Structures are given as structure tokens and as C-alpha cells.
Amino acid sequence: MVRKAVLGDAEAIHAIIEAFSKKGVMLNRPVSEILDGIRAFFVYEVKGAIVGICALQICSDDMGEIRSLAVREKFTRRGIGKELVEACLEEAAELGLKKVFALTYRTEFFKKLGFRPINKDVLPHKIWGDCIRCIKFPNCDENAVITEIK
């Protein structure tokens, strides 16, 4: 079941992010940062345990970013990631955003959800603020994808 995250979910969200960070596919975030941005997160819960996470970060008055999309390995290929992204896109529409992008290693996953690849250089420069903490900066190997909100 997909739901908005609450403060009590911060440690579970952090644990998932940390697991993916150790694999080098996600930027690590301290619990304090997760607490600061808890309203941006959706979680997917199975029998009381959080097994998937995703956040919608607002970047400007018309653009948002899908961030921290992760599903515990044992729960992949069940449509959980799709449901989490769809929840973010629904919220983006409710907020009046016109576009949502993501930086990803899973371009094909996002294409199936209606995103299209774009050049990272067309994205607003302020999104790169988090990137300086990444060990891959400035040689980012993620791909950018975007979708228009209808």
C-alpha cells in the first residue's frame, strides 16, 4: 500500500537509502535531512514494513523531481516502484506542476511510465546542489528523463 510518509518512517526511509547508497546508485542522506523533507516522501508498506520509498521534490513553480526511488531487493518486480512514481505524479498534478524529471540509472523503467530521455544540461542549475556531495561529481553517469503533467 502506498501512503504519505510520517515522521516515524524516517529511520526506515534512511535504512533503504543507505542500502542503495552503499551500492553506489543513490546519494546518502542523513536522518535529519529526511526528517526535514518527510512531506516529500511516499512509502510502500507491506505487513507494517516499509519496502519502497520515493519523493517528489519541488524545484520551481512548474517543475518537480522524482528522488530517492528505491524498493528493497526482495520486493522488486511487483509494480511497487511504478505505484510510488504514479503517486508522485498524481501529487505533482494536484500541485500544478507542469513537468517532472528524474536522474536515474533505470531509464527504461521511466520510459514505460511515459518519461522521455533529455540532456541533463537543460535542467535547472539549482538541482545540482546535492550533487556536490556525490563521489561521482562532476562526472555524473546518471541519465535524465522528463515527463509533462497533464
Q: What's the rounded Cα separation, in Å, for the pair 118 and 146?
A: 7
Task: Choose which CATH entry (3.40.50.720, 3.40.50.150, 3.40.630.30, 1.10.3720.10) describes domain 2-148.
Answer: 3.40.630.30
pLDDT for position 67: 94
3-state secondary structure of 2: strand
Whole-number Å distance between alpha carbons of 130 and 3: 26
Q: Smallest Cα–Cα separation from 13: which of 25, 82, 35?
A: 35
Could you tell me the three cell numbers for 77? 518486480
Give me the pLDDT at residue 123, please: 78
**DSSP states of 88-121:** HHHHHHHHT-SEEEEEES-HHHHHHTT-EEE-GG
HSE (side-chain half, CA atoms, 13 Å) at 99: 15
Residue ranges covered by each domain of the chain: 2-148
For 9, 59, 129, the CA distances from 125, given in Å and listed in that order, are: 30, 10, 8
Residues linked to residue 146 through DSSP beta bridges, in sequence order: 101, 116
Distance CA 82, CA 22 (A): 23
pLDDT at residue 128, as a whole number: 59
Per the structure block, which three cell numbers stand in for 150? 497533464
SS3 72: coil
Q: What pLDDT tens digit does each residue of the chain (150 aa) get?
A: 999 999 999 999 999 999 999 988 888 889 999 999 999 999 999 999 999 999 999 988 999 999 999 999 999 999 999 999 999 999 999 999 999 999 998 999 999 999 999 988 777 665 655 655 555 555 667 889 999 998
